[in-house]
Amino acid sequence: MKILAIVFMLCGTLYAADTTNGSAPAAVPPKDDGISLAQTNGFGVQFFLVEGEKFFSDWEKPEPPHIAPVSVAQRGVPVCTAVIFVGAGLKSDGSADVTYDTVVRKPDGSVYARDKNLVGAQEKIDPAPKALQLARDFTGIRIEPKDQAGVYTVEVVVKDHVKKVELHLARKFTVEK
């Protein structure tokens, strides 16, 4: 079983906002390890970008996957959103209800792509308090030759519908000419 401590050791120090005082949850500016982290009400999210889909198949292996966050994207090579969460609320049948939305913004701020209601988990999950869950769905971003060079921003809003929690996170990647 993958536990929270192992992944956070792989990813670096946890920088999380605990906003249990009733204020709106906010993402903490990430350190330069390529990972955004946020938490509130016991629900925590890690968000990063990976090249291709290998990370998702590696997640199913017994050993923790290698995390290599992307900060520079290669044209024609997919960059995928990786959302990992912990502490999701559970319904009486043991199932979670976590979804997320993504918005990809071009260097000029306009919307490049948008996905809504991607599934994090909508089934029974490991109820252990520190059991990590990889979101079932992800957004794939492929920068084409005609697309702008510059810094793209990927924003995610992760929603735990059982705990009624919403976390906002963002990552950036650069596309060179």
How confident is the model over 111-135, as pLDDT tens digits? 999 999 999 999 999 999 889 999 9
C-beta separation of 138 from 81 below 8 A: yes
What domains does the chain contain, in order, with CATH numbers? 4-175 (2.60.40.3880)
CA angle in degrees (0–180, nearest 5) for 90-93-97: 40
Residue 23 carries which DSSP code? S
pTM: 0.81
DSSP letter for 57, please.
H
What band does 1 get if pLDDT is binned at 50, 70 and 90? very low
Span 86-117, pLDDT tens digits: 999 999 999 999 999 999 999 999 999 999 99
**Between 142 and 20, whose confidence is greater?**
142
